[in-house]
Amino acid sequence: MKYNPDNERIKRKYFAFLKEAKRQNEASVDAVAKVLNRFEYYGSHRNF
Amino acid sequence: MGKRINPNLVKIHRNYTVEEIASVLAVHKNTVREWIKKGLQVIDCKRPVLIHGNELRQYLKDSQRRRKRTCKPDELFCLRCKTPQQPIGKMLDYEPMTETKGRLIGLCSSCEGVMNRYTSIAKLDELEDLFEITKLSNAKHIVKTS
């Protein structure tokens, strides 16, 4: 699976924000992670 | 043999620091750093070191596959040597267990320990090309003779 290292670092901060500040459940964060991956895939893993 | 680790505990769309992997998989963080030295890919050269979940899962699966040893047709698994070995002189005994299946017993060519392999009678003909098989009788119990 391809990935963009810079995007991975941004996503990591965002997941921490969702979990800690927004108090989202782990499963909800997983869903967001999956959606973001699909978004990146269709944008051929360009920088955010 | 190391601890058995379930690769499916790692999420493929997430990325992990070394400490996070250590807590998810219940291993020491030095173990994870050892994996990195042995070839686990990190996402880039920045700090903190991040590892993509999919890469980690693939690495764990591959390393488990590498540890698996399958026997060739003319080999039996020796539990003492922990490797597939050929029996001494290609000689095996066949001890029937039921009507259809039984046990092949041979001696390991490197440690001379007893090796076993389960097989069906149907496959015995094919195996006779590879080994010299002696069929033992089923009567292992004490039989009354008068």
Q: What is the 3-state secondary structure (H, E, C) of A14-33?
A: HHHHHHHCCCCCHHHHHHHH
Closest CA to A33 of B120, A10, B56, B19: A10
C-alpha B138: how far from chain center: 30
Asked if A3 lies within 8 A of B46 by C-beta distance, the reply is no
Asked if B52 lies within 8 A of A3 by C-beta distance, the reply is yes
pLDDT digits (tens, 9 = 90+) for B108-125: 999 999 999 999 988 888
Domain boundaries, chain B: 7-67, 76-135
Closest CA to B118 of B135, B94, B90: B94
Residue B143 has pLDDT above 60, yes or no: yes
Tokens 């810079």 -> residue: A6
Q: What are the distances in angstroms from CA B139 to CA B35, B104, B142?
A: 53, 16, 8
Q: Which is more confidently placed, B109 or B143?
A: B109
Closest CA to B60 of B82, B32, B18: B32
Closest CA to B32 of B10, B14, B65: B10
The domain made up of B7-67 has a fold known as Arc Repressor Mutant, subunit A (1.10.10)
Of the listed ranges A7-11, A38-42, B51-55, B89-93, the least confidently predicted one is B89-93
Residue B135: the pLDDT is: 87
Look at phi and psi of residue B76 and say left if phi exceeds 0, alpha if psi is from -120 to 50, else beta. Answer: beta
Tally of CB atoms within 10 A around B102: 21
Mean pLDDT of A11-33: 97
Please, which residues bridge with residue B93 across strands? B105, B134
Phi–psi pair at B52, nearest 5 degrees: -75, 135
Q: How far is B1 from chain A (nearest CA, A)?
A: 30
Asked if B43 lies within 8 A of A8 by C-beta distance, the reply is yes
Q: How far is B2 from chain A (nearest CA, A)?
A: 28
Residue B123 contacts residue B111 (beta carbons within 8 Å): no
3-state secondary structure of A43: coil
